[in-house]
Structure 1
Amino acid sequence: MTGASEGLATVSQMVAPGGRGWTGGRAPGRHRAPPVRGVAVLAAALALSACGSALAAPGVTPRVAPSVPALARPLSGFGLTPPGTGAGAGTTFLPGIPRFGGTGTGGATRIRPSDPVLSTTATQPFYQVPSPLSPAPPGSIIRSETIPSDGQLPEGATAYRILYHSQSLTGADIAVSGIAVVPGGIPPARGFPIVSWAHGTAGLAVQCAPSIWGPGSIPLLGSLLRHRAIVVATDYEGLGTPGPQPYLIGQGEAEGVLDAARSARALVGASASNTVIIVGYSQGGQAALFAGQMAQTYAPELFVPGVAAVAPVTSLDEFVPATPQQRTAKGLFALMALYAWSATYGNLPLASLLTPLALQDRAAIVSSCGGAAATRVANIPAGQLFRPGWDRDPVLAARIADNEPGQVATAAPMLVVQGTADSVVPYATTTRFVADSLCGSQRDTVDYAAIEGAGHDSILTAATSALMDWITMRLANAPGTNSCARILTTTP
Structure 2
Amino acid sequence: MPAETPYRRLGHRVRALPGLLARAPWWVLVTIGAVTTALGALLAVRPLSSLTVLGIYTGISCVVSGLGDLVARHADRGKLSLLTGVGWVLAGVAVLAWLGRSLQLLGPFVAGLLVVSGAVRLLDLRRGSARERLIGGAFGLSEIAFGAVAWVWPDATLLVIALLFGVRTAGFGLSLLWRGARAARHPSSATADAAPRRTRSPVLRWGAAAGVLLVAGTTLVVSEQFRRGLPVLDGFYDAPDDVPDEPGQLLRAEPYDGELPQGLVAHRILYTTTADDGVPGLASGVVAVPAESAGKPVPLIAWAHGTVGVARACAPSLGRYAITPEGMPAMDALARNGWGMVATDYIGQGTEGDFPYLIGQGEGRSVLDSVRAAHQLDGLYLAPETVVWGHSQGGHAALWAGQLAPTYAPDVDVVGTAALSAASDPLALAELVTSHPGALGASLGISFVLAAYSWTYPDISLDDVNPAARTLVEEAAARCTGDPGTILTVLTGVAVSRDTPILRADPATGAVGRRLRENVPLGPWPAPLFIGQGTADEVIVARLQDDYVARLCAAGRPLQYTTYAGRNHMGVLEPDSPLNADLEQWTKDRLAGLPQANTCS
TM over 0.5: yes
1:286 to 388, 392, 396: 396
For 1:209-252, what per-residue CA distance to the aligned partner results, in whole angstroms no more than 9, with x for missing partners? 11112345442333223221110000011111112101110111
Alignment of 1:74-473 (within 5 A): 121-130=231-240, 132-148=241-257, 152-155=260-263, 157-189=264-296, 191-215=297-321, 217-218=323-324, 219-220=328-329, 221-268=331-378, 271-315=381-425, 316-317=427-428, 320-321=432-433, 326-327=438-439, 329-351=441-463, 353-370=464-481, 371=483, 372-376=485-489, 377-378=492-493, 379-381=495-497, 383-386=499-502, 388-391=504-507, 393-406=509-522, 408-437=523-552, 439-442=553-556, 444-461=557-574, 462=577, 463-473=579-589
Of the two, which has the highest radius of gyration?
Answer: 2
Contact 2:385/2:415 (8 A) holds in 1? yes
For 1:383-412, what per-residue CA distance to the aligned partner results, in whole angstroms no more than 9, with x for missing partners? 324354343642112101110012x31100
The gaps in structure 2 that reach 5 residues or longer are 1-150, 157-227
Contact 2:417/2:529 (8 A) holds in 1? yes
Superposed CA RMSD: 2.6
1:343 Cα offset (Å) = 0.7
1:313 Cα offset (Å) = 1.2
Contact 1:159/1:215 (8 A) holds in 2? no
Tell me the distance in 2 between the aligned counterparts of 1:276 and 1:255: 14
Contact 1:139/1:166 (8 A) holds in 2? yes
SS in structure 2 of the partner of residue 262 of structure 1: helix
Tell me the distance in 1 between the aligned counterparts of 2:476 and 2:516: 22
Tell me the distance in 1 between the aligned counterparts of 2:433 and 2:275: 33
Tell me the distance in 1 between the aligned counterparts of 2:393 and 2:363: 9
1:295 Cα offset (Å) = 0.6
1:184 Cα offset (Å) = 2.2
User: How many positions carry a matched residue from both structures?
Assistant: 364
Higher helix proportion: 2
Q: Which residue of structure 2 aligns with residue 79 of structure 1?
A: none
From the superposition, tell whether residues 248 and 87 of structure 1 become closer, same or farther in structure 2 (CA, over 3 Å).
farther
Tell me the distance in 2 between the aligned counterparts of 1:202 and 1:387: 22
Tell me the distance in 2 between the aligned counterparts of 1:145 and 1:225: 21
Tell me the distance in 1 between the aligned counterparts of 2:501 and 2:351: 29
From the superposition, tell whether residues 386 and 202 of structure 1 become closer, same or farther in structure 2 (CA, over 3 Å).
same
Contact 1:328/1:380 (8 A) holds in 2? no
SS in structure 1 of the partner of residue 441 of structure 2: helix
From the superposition, tell whether residues 436 and 363 of structure 1 become closer, same or farther in structure 2 (CA, over 3 Å).
closer
Q: Which stretch of the first structure deviates more once superposed, 278-287 or 369-378?
A: 369-378
Tell me the distance in 2 between the aligned counterparts of 1:465 and 1:392: 38
Q: Which residue of structure 2 aligns with residue 115 of structure 1?
A: none
Tell me the distance in 2 between the aligned counterparts of 1:427 and 1:124: 40
Relative contact order (alpha carbons < 8 A, sep ≥ 6): 1 or 2 greater?
A: 1
1:456 Cα offset (Å) = 1.2
Tell me the distance in 2 between the aligned counterparts of 1:363 and 1:453: 35
Contact 1:179/1:214 (8 A) holds in 2? no
What amino acid sits opposite 1:201 in the alignment?
Answer: T
Contact 2:434/2:501 (8 A) holds in 1? no
Q: TM-score, normalised by structure 2?
A: 0.57
Q: Which residue of structure 2 aligns with residue 95 of structure 1?
A: none
From the superposition, tell whether residues 449 and 188 of structure 1 become closer, same or farther in structure 2 (CA, over 3 Å).
farther
Tell me the distance in 2 between the aligned counterparts of 1:454 and 1:165: 37
For 1:46-104, what per-residue CA distance to the aligned partner results, in whole angstroms no more than 9, with x for missing partners? xxxxxxxxxxxxxxxxxxxxxxxxxxxxxxxxxxxxxxxx979xx9xxxxxxxxxxxxx
Contact 1:138/1:167 (8 A) holds in 2? yes
Q: Matched residues, percent identical?
A: 31
